Amino acid sequence: MREWTTIKEYEDILFDFYNGIARITINRERYRNAFTPTTTTEMSDALYICRERPDINVIVLTGAGDTAFCAGGDMNVKGHGGYIGKDGVARLNVLDVQKQIRSIPKPVIAAVNGFAIGGGHVLHVVCDLTIASENAIFGQTGPRVGSFDAGFGSSYLARIVGQKKAREIWFLCRKYNAQEALDMGLVNKVVPLDKLEDEYVGWAEEMMLLSPLALRMIKAGLNAELDGQAGIQELAGDATMLYYMTDEAQEGGKAFLEKRRPRFEDYPKFP
């Protein structure tokens, strides 16, 4: 039995840690783990912590219980302009969470343990990897309930499953079982529900044997082609970080502080 320790207490999510892995669990089982502005604000805060803490190497996103990963936005708090928070303001701040998952320089695994529907489906789509339990159900409901996601939920989905299949998923609002999701390339692996934790921990531990900087650059590179200038900025920022680690870059800074001409000619120019 693994001993997960709490990183921080929240109202709508559980946030715990085990052996280099941070796990964010949407903890609204009564509502099939549908999210409210409070939920997504807490998820955003947890993801910020995951980015900042050097002892966190891989992030897992999942849902409480054994019937739902996330059923999307909670329709009970949906109002004009978005989902209504405790302050009475309508928000779509799940979009911020999507962007954080995309840009965080660490692998993010979606552990889908039941329904991944609507906005919950989009959350798993934007994760780097998806491991599903055999009881997982995938699908979009937006056009049926007066909603849609024309961002990552459609454009990136189409890059994963193809344009025709993405249009089918959105235009018909059908549900797909775990095997169907695997067949269309929407998930990476399907396992029995009672083996889901073993599987995602195993995948995380396997990735932690690899170069974290290499994984960071691969993630940025894979995103850059799809994310336009924002993606290029992420990749360029990582390249700048690598450059700062070189003696050549250090020479520039030292020369400035020492009020002398930098000797860049001392450094190699690779073909």
Query: Residue 84 is part of a domain; what is its CATH number?
Result: 3.90.226.10
Q: Name the band, by pLDDT with cuts 50, 70 and 90, for residue 246.
A: very high
User: What percent of the chain has a predicted confidence (pLDDT) above 70?
Assistant: 94
Q: Return binding residues for substrate.
A: 32, 83, 115-119, 141, 147, 244, 259
C-alpha span between 266 and 244 (Å, rounded): 17
Pair 59, 116 in one domain:
yes
Claim to verify: residue 240 and residue 193 sit in the same structural domain:
no
Range of the domain at 137: 5-209
Query: Number of structural domains, the chain?
Result: 2
Q: Which residue has the tokens 């001993």?
A: 3
What pLDDT is stored for residue 75 in this prediction?
64
The reply to whether 118 and 140 lie within a common domain is yes
Residue type at position 43: M
Q: What is the pLDDT of residues 52-109, one digit of tens each?
A: 999 999 999 999 999 999 998 876 666 656 667 677 666 667 899 999 999 999 999 9
Check residue 1 and give its pLDDT. 79
Q: What is the pLDDT of residues 248-259, one digit of tens each?
A: 999 999 999 999
Give the per-residue pLDDT at 100.
Answer: 97
Bind-site residues = 32, 83, 115-119, 140-142, 147, 244, 259
Interval 221-245 mean pLDDT: 92
Instruction: Give yes or no: residues 106 and 151 share one domain.
Output: yes
72, 101, 137, 233, 267 from 96: Cα distances, Å: 15, 9, 25, 17, 41
Assess whether 175 and 194 both reside in one domain.
Answer: yes
Mean pLDDT of the chain: 93
Say yes or no to pLDDT of 207 above 60: yes
Residues 65 and 183 in one domain: yes
Binding residues for hydrogencarbonate: 140-142
Q: Given this model, what pLDDT does residue 86 score?
A: 75
